[in-house]
């Protein structure tokens, strides 16, 4: 697939992944796409860990599940469906999130997006790593693989970053579990553009979208 707009419109989170190995040459293509992204001042302080070691993944999984049990699971159970999502689809999404929780460590490859951001990163720090993450998600989709951007491990950042072996002054910003998807790609579920896009004044619908 090479139509970038089609790729963007069908790059939905794929949380059910097969444990089958992913060839290193495909991971290299994904990383190459990430390294082509913009970053602050072209300082390239990003770092990407390719994690396959089961022991490392299982050590992070413990905290990942704890975050689900204490934070994410209860939030899903008490939240209304977001815009563009029916109640049934939201339940299926919750089921997929729970599946990933239990099988996170079984994804054959993790790409851990990190940044050399010092001891006190500020609000803008993610701008130097998230464009690369999105490039990689699009590349993953184009290659017929599945993934999802997850930051849940940051609920227990100290513990999970220790499990990942990150040195002082380096922090993780996302983990991309990568594998062949069990499900099918399809359009992303979103609300109407007019619900989210304002013109000049916050809260006022951008004129071309009025009535849409």
Summarised one tens digit per residue, pLDDT across range 194-211 is 989 999 999 999 999 987
Q: What's the pLDDT score for residue 83?
A: 79
What per-residue confidence (pLDDT) applies to 183? 81
| 115-160: pLDDT as tens digits | 998 888 887 889 999 999 999 999 999 999 999 999 999 999 999 9
Gap between the Cα atoms of 97 and 73, Å rounded: 9
Domains of the chain, each with CATH number or no CATH: 4-209 (3.40.109.10)
Q: Residue 162 above 60 pLDDT?
A: yes
Decide: 54 and 75 in contact? Cβ < 8 Å. Answer: no
pTM of the full predicted structure? 0.89
Residue 69 has pLDDT above 80, yes or no: yes
pLDDT at 2 over 70: no
Between the alpha carbon of residue 167 and those of residues 40, 47, 51, the distances in Å are 22, 12, 16
Mean pLDDT over 37-45 rounds to 92
Q: Count CB neighbours of 5 within 10 A.
A: 7
Burial of 119 (0-12, 13-18, 19+ CB in 10 A): exposed
Query: Do 125 and 39 contact (CB within 8 A), yes or no?
Result: no
Torsion angle defined by CA atoms of residues 126, 132, 137 and 138, in that order, rounded to the nearest 10 degrees: 130
């Amino acid at each position: 697939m090479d139509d970038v707009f089609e790729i963007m419109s069908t790059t939905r989170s794929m949380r059910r992944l097969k444990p089958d190995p992913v060839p290193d040459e495909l991971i290299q293509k994904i990383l190459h796409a990430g390294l082509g992204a913009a970053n602050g001042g072209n300082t390239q302080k990003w770092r990407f860990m390719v994690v396959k070691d089961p022991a490392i993944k299982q050590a992070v999984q413990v905290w990942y599940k704890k975050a689900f049990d204490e934070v994410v699971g209860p939030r899903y159970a008490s939240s209304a469906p977001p815009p563009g999502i029916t109640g049934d689809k939201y339940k299926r999404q919750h089921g997929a999130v729970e599946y990933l929780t239990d099988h996170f460590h079984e994804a054959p490859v993790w790409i851990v997006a990190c940044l050399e951001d010092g001891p006190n990163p500020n609000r803008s720090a993610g701008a130097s790593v998230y464009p690369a993450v999105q490039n990689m998600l699009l590349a993953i989709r184009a290659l017929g693989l599945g993934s999802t951007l997850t930051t849940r491990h940051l609920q227990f950042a100290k513990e999970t970053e220790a499990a990942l072996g990150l040195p002082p002054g380096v922090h993780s910003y996302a983990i991309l579990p990568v594998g062949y998807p069990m499900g099918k790609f399809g359009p992303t579920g979103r609300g109407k553009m007019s619900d989210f896009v304002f013109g000049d004044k916050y809260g006022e619908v951008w004129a071309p979208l009025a009535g849409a």
